[in-house]
Amino acid sequence: MVHPLARVSLVAAAGFAAATALAADKKDKVEAMSEQETRYICPNAGGGAIDCYLHAVEHLYTMCRQVKSIEIIEFGYEHATDGVNGAKSQYCVDKQKNHIARPYQLALREATGNRTATDQIRALYELWQQALAELMWIPGEKDDEYKTRVARPYEAFSERATIVRTSLSVPAAAAPASGPGTTAAAPSAKKSTN
């Protein structure tokens, strides 16, 4: 026969474990993105914060590039930013900067411990912001020159994403810090055994 206090201890321990698991699950859901956000921001991602971020960079850039194309179709290159004509694309840039903030932070958190990956995630974010700023037509630029210039960031996005994915496939301790925008990892201090 089991002592009544033992039963109470078992029930209390089970209740504590369930409450702890529930709290951890709730915390993960708060920190992660909702399914609806994920479908909007990174619809082609297979899973994980880094994959979402890498896909979001390209996807959100494409959205603003398309908005800018619509402005150019409506008003022509020369007048696409006159008065309020450029308001749609500026709103798109502001909106997508807000949308990428959470995937960026979650990707950095997921890459913690891998210096190359975190450096490349940061470099990709800077590249993405620069590409958005350069969506504007440069006076005197021909149609084909503009289209080629605004398509060029996709190659750079892909190169950075490949570096991130490759660095994550190598164990963190063995991952070399290489590629543009990286710095060497600090040597780890050896623990003394007493």
Whole-angstrom Cα distance, residue 95 to residue 100? 9
If DSSP codes are grouped into helix, strand and coil, which group holds residue 176? coil
Both tokens of residue 134? 């350069």
pLDDT at 60: 96
Answer yes or no: is pLDDT of 101 > 50: yes
pLDDT tens, position by position, 102-156: 999 999 999 999 999 999 999 999 999 999 999 999 999 999 999 999 999 999 9
Both tokens of residue 93? 């840039």
Q: 32 and 13 in contact (C-beta within 8 Å)? A: no
pLDDT at 106: 95
pLDDT tens, position by position, 167-188: 999 765 554 555 555 444 433 4
Q: DSSP string of 125-165?
A: HHHHHHHHHTTSPPTT--HHHHHHHHHTHHHHHHHHHHHHH
Q: Work out the percent of the chain whose per-residue pLDDT is above 70.
A: 72
Whole-angstrom Cα distance, residue 41 to residue 62? 11
Q: List the one residue out of 178, 174, 173 whose CA is nearest residue 160.
A: 178
Q: List the one residue out of 32, 61, 47, 174 whose CA is nearest residue 117.
A: 174
Both tokens of residue 11? 């029930």
